[in-house]
Amino acid sequence: MNRLYHVALSPFCRKVRLVLAEKKIEVELVEERYWEASPEFLRRNPAGKVPVLRLDGRIMAESQAICEYVDETVPTPPLLPRDPQARYEVRRLCAWFDDKFNADVTTKVMGERVWKKIRKEGYPDSKTVKSGLSAIKRHLDYMGELLDQRRWLAGDVLTLADFSAAAHLSCLDYISDVDWDRSVTVKDWYAKIKSRPAFRSLLADHVPGMPPSPQYAELDF
């Protein structure tokens, strides 16, 4: 059976889940407490990170590599354009969200408000959270600038760049840490992507002891 070893509020796992769902590839979701670094898990991925996908007997790690592999082997619907310049832009934005946005926002906000609680590592550091919440404003403004010129983040069609961004924002939205009123354009983009069938599994997530924000699963928010 195809399996995805994941954590519900990991944006990297969510990106893979969105791609698999968009491609209509069914997998069993297996929650993995990767921070406990069990020998069994380390055999699957010596890097000790999620997601890890077992697909057709193959074990794969690293979210971007997984997503590109899936897109190449299941080409419909395409999530990476064929044109080299358009393909570059998608990859650039994937890296923007998985590297810069993650460092500026996700790691600071989710790390303090969610992962410290789950791992029982103490109380959130308010200065770190404040820094992350300040940074997200700049990122929302940048997304707004892109979306003022394009239908989707990387161009006129939905791509992996949109799923990368939505994966991070959906985690933050789970704990109600996105100011959707800052940009109508970004809010409309998120409402559009949130209404896709591929998003249904994410919107059904419920972390024990940490219920989602009231608007998290609402399509009209």
Cα Rg of the chain, angstroms: 17
Total Cβ atoms within 10 A of residue 202 = 23
User: Per the structure block, which two tokens stand in for 182?
Assistant: 């800052």
Confirm if 129 and 109 have CB atoms less than 8 A apart: yes
Give just the sign of the alpha carbon dihedral 79, 100, 170, 42: positive
Full pLDDT tens readout for the chain, 221 residues = 999 999 999 999 999 999 999 999 999 999 999 999 999 999 999 999 999 999 999 999 999 999 999 999 999 999 999 999 999 999 999 999 999 999 999 999 999 999 999 999 999 999 999 999 999 999 999 999 999 999 999 999 999 999 999 999 999 999 999 999 999 999 999 999 999 999 999 999 999 999 999 999 999 88
Residue owning tokens 């994937």: 94
In tens, the pLDDT along 155-212 reads 999 999 999 999 999 999 999 999 999 999 999 999 999 999 999 999 999 999 999 9
Do the bridges between strand 52-55 and strand 58-61 make them parallel or antiparallel, or are there none, so unpaired?
Answer: antiparallel
Give just the sign of the alpha carbon dihedral 123, 124, 125, 127: negative
